[in-house]
Amino acid sequence: MTDQDTRYEAVRSRDARFDGAFFFAVETTGIYCRPSCPAVTPKRRNVRFFPTAAAAQGSGFRACRRCRPDAVPGSADWNVRADVVGRAMRLIGDGVVDREGVPGLAGRLGYSARQVQRQLTAELGAGPVALARAQRAHTARTLLQTTGLPVTEIAFASGFASVRQFNDTIRAVYAATPTDLRAAVRASLRAATPSAGIPLRLAHRGPYRAGPVFDLLAHEAVPGVEEVSGPPGGRTYRRTLRLPHGTGIVAVDERTGDAGRPSAVHPGGWLDARLSLTDPRDLTTAVQRLRRLFDLDADPYAVDERLGGDPRLAPLVAARPGLRAPGAADPDEYAVRALAGRAAAADLVRGHGKALDAPCGTLTHLFPEPAALAGGPGPVGTLAAALADGTVRLDPGADRDDAQAALLALPGLDARTVAAIRARALGDPDVAPPGADVPDTWRPWRTYALHHLRAAEEPTP
């Protein structure tokens, strides 16, 4: 059976495990869909497969209005892979192309713009401009259908260079005008202004074990910057965000949902969130950072299948299917916090954090940026200076091995702290404690294996 035959079987069985891993388009209708689309399965001869939504759009197909393929979780490959394509996709998701253009993306990766274009097009069927365009279209649809912002403001907030470009893209991707997309949603479902908060559904694939994620966030929460409130099973995580164009406050609910039915664990669904931004241009970046924090683009089927084959981990995986390995909303912030500890991090917020213009309950400050801590006493000041001047890079496109080497070269950072930074700030799914004898059967998901041991309160290597 060929890869395309396997993909068609996934489409025919409406297998949600492959949502985001690939897309299929129907030549007779001109529409592209996610594999789990509930519509009648098209005939095999009429189906084409694409690795990305951007590739399908580039071939002239428009998004299905029924399954909304632009709202699927991202491919798990981009978080796992450490090569240039994986790093590029993480940077594009963070909005780098919109802010810095393709030359900026290429410069961060250490390649020429032509090399980046060639590698992305060869593997994904679309270059960085097309990939960013598809992302802008999704951001625009979200703003059109969840806020009362004027259409002209939405065009520029989504990253488009002109209203004409915005209108042309929306028509090409959705076969509808911006006004049509907005009219498809009842006015009562749209927030009056972005300051009232943009409602979001942060999609995930497969089961999502939310409890341990919220337990960890509650344990680590730094006063003034974060809080976790509510009873277990119904908690809400809130935090402040420093973003490229402004600031944000986000609230994410613990319960996962599907078709309006909440549950602690679900075979596929979303986390409900609400995001308040001082500048709506930050929507794409904020969403991607939340996805990394909550590990929403993971493939729990691949992780559980591998770890479930290990005798020690098998009962733990069976007890907690879909356990995630949380990342970080701000990699530089996490590195400082990992080194300083929670109590000292709270002192840094009080002494150096920027106060919000409009505090929201207990959320009063942004965590201090590295430049505000650079030159301070001890290892924290040294680390902050290295982050501020680029000696250490922890952004989504950073090379993980280079970052680890740069961290280990700094005084005051031991191997265990650096391993924690690599797992959380850099999102590496395969980090083991330094010097530990960890079974090969845990690879390439050793980070997840350790989370299973901790969740079960078992000794870690």
- Which are the catalytic amino acids? 33, 437
Stretch (H or E) spanning 215: helix 210-220
Residue 355: CB atoms within 10 A of its CB come to 11
Distance CA 419, CA 425 (A): 10
List, in sequence order, every beta strand (DSSP E) within 161-320: 198-205, 226-229, 236-242, 247-258, 261-263, 268-277
Q: For residue 391, what are the β-bridge partners?
A: none
Which residue's entry shows tokens 């907005």? 182
Q: Which of 415, 414, 410 is nearest to 436 (CA)?
A: 415
Burial degree of 204 (CB within 10 A; 0-12, 13-18, 19+): buried
String of DSSP letters for 10-67: HHHTT-GGGBTTBEEEETTTTEEE-TT--SPPPPGGGEEEESSHHHHHHTT-EE-TTT
At 131, the amino acid letter reads L
Distance CA 92, CA 180 (A): 28
Residues 6+ apart with CB under 8 A from 113: 102, 103, 105, 106
How many residues in total does the chain contain?
461
What the block records as the tokens of 139 is 């951001």
What the block records as the tokens of 383 is 């680390």
Which residue's entry shows tokens 């509650």? 218
